[in-house]
Chains A and B, each alone.
Chain A
């Protein structure tokens, strides 16, 4: 840190590093614990002897999850929903953000207001439920996709980006060279906007992947639930009516605690694997979002 000026490594520097290290550990150790539990022999888990290192490693709990099939099916389904959601979401966000980022567009203020108003005033759960019911969307995969693909917040970020990176003059020179509006968008704007497309795609994907209240509110059929909701029913549900468990036939010798740990790891795995590589795009998005649109 060049700003610190004096180059000596002081006691205060040490304390700060120590605090940051402890905070980082609070993010890593819980996963290490759950992972250790999930691959340890159940006798050690029941004896409460597992901390951050597994004992008598075995993968029975994971085998049980695969044999049971509920979570693996839901994983594939959730990936599919997330993919469709992300693709449609990016497309519709561009479709609104590009036109409304152009100052010359007549009616721009009104259209922007119509979109942004919905961010500040929602109808609430019950009217939304009744609407989906009228649209025959309840208990279908599409109720997880269509209502949420176009989000005002993502729109605002992308619009801000277009406004600052594609000046009117660039567009005008292309226009004077005979390019149509569509050609300008496809051949000039989108190629130079890859970073924001990646950011918005990731915002959409992570948002969809992690949200599950709509599974609970609008879907009754278990095979159409997002995996996060399944996890919450496995680990967190207290009432037996809601609780789901890995079927007895496949869970042979392990205890529920080990199975739960394995389920947590199984559901977390996609995010843990992809996260380190995509994290920088998110940071960019937050920075752009911080500038007012």
Chain B
């Protein structure tokens, strides 16, 4: 259907001149130019704005009119009590998240793998993946419907049957809120997180199980000696990836679940940046400095985890 060409192979390596490369693959470069332009405009275009972290930026004066202050903003930020609280809360919550949220998908995958009935397994998987497809607005709205102290479903039930005199302050006392917040995180992430482990389990050699069975190994021994070692690389890779996100902070999740009563624990970096920066309008430089600090430490953490993974003999992440 096409006219046959024979002068050169397109499998040729990249060691040709740019002129030849452009002539041969100009269509590919043309395609690439659009997403590359989007990246440059919207991602790289924002980097120059980072200079306001080193300025005393006033929106009215703009970039030109505002004065340079070097690292003064950073010095101020690190002494700012609000920043210290936000940083501390972010780190504590991310750390707790690793402890309570990380193991659940593994446990769930092991349980799903043990299910006998294929139909039951499929249906329950479909149901368990659902929370991943809901926005934090919906999740938090439902959480409030269920957990409100006065009118929430669970407290209504507890009071109606006489188990409690008054409702449990799931969302309005610091410790309770932290527990609710983390549990909802576990709930929202476990089904989806189990997919990757299930696919790792599927790739374990069937013969290992058969051999173990002939040797009389029971369910637990097979799980302990075959399944878990089989998915160990996946577990390590994902754990390292999670550690790389220790500085992260999800604005939608925090703000949707937050309320005035739990400000002390809900106040994390994303909230700090929004409130000092956009909401107040006067702390642009401060907020940009915190954002830069967060991105920079985040990048270092990712690079460190990548190196760490490679040292352990796993595939890197980058």
Contacts and interface: CB of A to CB of B under 8 A. Distances in A.
B80 interface: no
B299 A121 contact: yes
A176 B25 CA distance: 14
Contacts of B16: 106
A180 to B, nearest CB: 7
B113 A1 contact: yes
A126 B291 contact: yes
Nearest to B214: A5
B228 interface: no
Contacts of A127: 46-50, 52, 288, 291
B317 to A, nearest CB: 7
A243 to B, nearest CB: 13
Interface in A55-113: 92-96, 98-100, 102-108, 111
B111 A30 contact: no
Interface residues of A, number: 108
Interface string B109-138: 001111110101100101111110111111
Contact of A122 (B187, B209, B295): B295
Contacts of A105: 14, 21, 25, 28
A217 B278 contact: yes
B291 A125 contact: yes
A9 B39 contact: no
B137 to A, nearest CB: 4
Contacts of B111: 16, 19-20
Interface in A199-251: 206, 209-213, 217, 228-229, 231-232, 235-236, 238
Contacts of A104: 10-14, 25
Contacts of B5: 175-176, 178
A130 B134 CA distance: 30
Contacts of A121: 295-296, 298-299
A236 B126 contact: no
A1 B199 CA distance: 15
Given A26-B187, A96-B32, A210-B135, A37 B145 contact: yes
A123 B46 contact: yes
Contacts of B284: 126, 130
A192 interface: no
B228 to A, nearest CB: 14
Contact of A181 (B27, B145, B252): B27
A247 B284 CA distance: 36
B49 A126 contact: yes
B288 A179 contact: no
B42 A146 contact: yes
Contacts of B36: 96, 111, 114-115
A147 interface: yes
A99 B25 contact: yes
A183 B131 CA distance: 41
A30 B6 CA distance: 65
Interface in B47-80: 47-50, 52
A50 to B, nearest CB: 8
Contact of A33 (B116, B136, B146, B159): B146
- Which of B46, B118, B144, B196 is the most central at the interface, judged by chain A CB atoms within 10 Å of its CB? B46
Interface residues on B, range: 35 or more
A250 to B, nearest CB: 20
Nearest to A48: B156
A237 to B, nearest CB: 10
A172 B9 contact: yes
Given A95-B34, A104-B11, A27 B157 contact: no
A172 to B, nearest CB: 5
A238 B255 CA distance: 11
Contacts of A99: 25, 28-29, 31-32
Given A111-B32, A236-B141, A238-B260, A30 B209 contact: no
B45 interface: yes
Nearest to B138: A268
Nearest to A177: B2
B141 A260 contact: yes
A94 to B, nearest CB: 8
B256 interface: yes
B9 A210 contact: no
Query: Nearest 7 pairs between A and B by C-beta?
Result: A124-B291, A127-B49, A178-B2, A123-B46, A210-B135, A96-B35, A99-B28
Interface of A: 1, 3-5, 9, 12-13, 16-17, 19-21, 23-24, 26-28, 30-31, 33-34, 37, 48, 51, 92-96, 98-100, 102-108, 111, 114-116, 118, 120-131, 135, 146-147, 149-150, 155, 168-169, 171-172, 174-183, 185, 206, 209-213, 217, 228-229, 231-232, 235-236, 238, 257, 260-261, 263-264, 267-268, 271, 275-276, 279, 282-283, 286-287, 290, 292
Interface of B: 1-6, 9-14, 16, 18, 21, 25, 27-29, 31-32, 34-36, 38-50, 52, 108, 111-116, 118, 120-121, 124, 126-131, 133-138, 140-142, 144-146, 151, 153, 156-157, 159-160, 187, 190-192, 195-196, 199, 206, 209, 213, 219, 234, 251-252, 255-256, 259-260, 273-274, 277-278, 284, 287-288, 291-292, 294-296, 298-299, 302, 315-318
Given A120-B318, A126-B288, 15 more contacts: A20-B120, A48-B159, A102-B25, A105-B28, A106-B14, A126-B278, A127-B48, A131-B42, A174-B2, A177-B4, A212-B252, A231-B141, A238-B260, A267-B137, A292-B317
